């Protein structure tokens, strides 16, 4: 399947590393003009890496804290029009649920949910007026299978599924599709740290990964961490013209972790 996003402008929030960067690179390889986003100097660094990886790519770096209303407004000033919006920005941590403070619940909701809500609210009307657009929110298996070690994170990803479905209804009949991608346990630098915290920093990575999957994610059918590029492939498809009849959905790239026929 040849995915051609030439002429499309795509913002990937939180795209300086991990899943976000992999998505940005995949969209750039498909011909999109990609807007890389982070909060500081890492944004320009990521854009430079992307230009090296995809020499003919059109890449714009916009540093803005999209977990805030001011940051979302700054993004709109820098990029008044988008064809594709990928809400990837998110934070996670392991913490016993009875120890999570009000401030931490609020911070997780602000970063993981309201960042997406604000950006969709800003860019969806323009897409609807033009009759074409793609909006995606990167959710998680934790939205469906609440992890005991990070309930606050799981809560935000459940909320993200709901608001994304709601915005899909708002865009009905306009030519704009709005979907969520349910990512399973994925191999990123942050997850390596997370795994180390759970199974021990002194355990070699290959063994730590096996122990993490066996002890904490035992229902994975692929029995390994997913690579970020595997998430990016689904995102690229949903951004394409070929996915024009897929909207309001929650599509799984979870390695079969969620034990259900439907999401």
DSSP class of residue 111 equals I
Residue 248 CB contacts under 8 Å (≥ 6 apart), including other chains: 165, 168, 169, 178, 179
Residue 94, judged by CB atoms within 10 A of its CB (0-12, 13-18, 19+), counts as middle
Chain CA centroid to CA 203, Å? 29
Among the listed residues 178, 204, 262, 258, the one whose alpha carbon sits nearest the alpha carbon of residue 226: 258
Is 153 assigned a catalytic role? yes
| Bridge partners of residue 59, in order along the sequence | 34
**Rounded CA separation 256/70 (Å):** 38
Point out the catalytic residue in the list 153, 167, 219, 237: 153
What's the Cα-to-Cα distance from 57 to each of 5, 18, 47, rounded to whole Å? 12, 19, 10
Question: Which are the catalytic amino acids?
Answer: 153
């Amino acid at each position: 399947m040849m995915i051609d996003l030439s002429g499309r402008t795509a913002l990937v929030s939180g795209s300086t590393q991990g899943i976000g960067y992999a998505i940005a690179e995949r969209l750039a390889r498909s011909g999109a003009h990609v807007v890389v986003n982070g909060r500081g100097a890492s944004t320009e660094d990521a854009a430079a890496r992307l230009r090296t990886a995809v020499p003919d790519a059109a890449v714009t770096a916009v540093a803005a804290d999209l977990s805030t209303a001011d940051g979302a407004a700054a993004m709109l000033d820098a990029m008044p029009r988008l064809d594709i919006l990928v809400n990837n920005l998110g934070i996670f941590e392991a913490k016993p649920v009875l120890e999570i403070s009000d401030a931490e619940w609020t911070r997780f909701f602000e970063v993981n949910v309201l960042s997406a809500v604000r950006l969709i609210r800003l860019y969806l009307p323009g897409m609807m007026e033009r009759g074409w657009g793609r909006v995606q929110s990167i959710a998680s298996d934790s939205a469906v299978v609440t992890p005991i070690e990070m309930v606050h994170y799981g809560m935000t990803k459940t909320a993200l599924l709901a608001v994304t479905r709601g915005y899909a209804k708002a865009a009905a009949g306009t030519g704009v599709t709005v979907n969520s991608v349910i990512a399973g346990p994925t191999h990123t630098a942050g997850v390596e740290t997370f795994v180390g915290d759970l199974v021990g920093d002194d355990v070699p990575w290959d063994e730590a990964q096996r122990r993490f999957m066996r002890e904490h994610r035992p229902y994975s059918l692929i029995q390994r961490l997913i690579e970020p590029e595997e998430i990016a492939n689904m995102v690229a498809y949903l951004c394409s013209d070929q996915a024009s009849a897929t909207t309001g959905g929650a599509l799984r790239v979870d390695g079969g972790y969620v034990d259900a026929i439907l999401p």
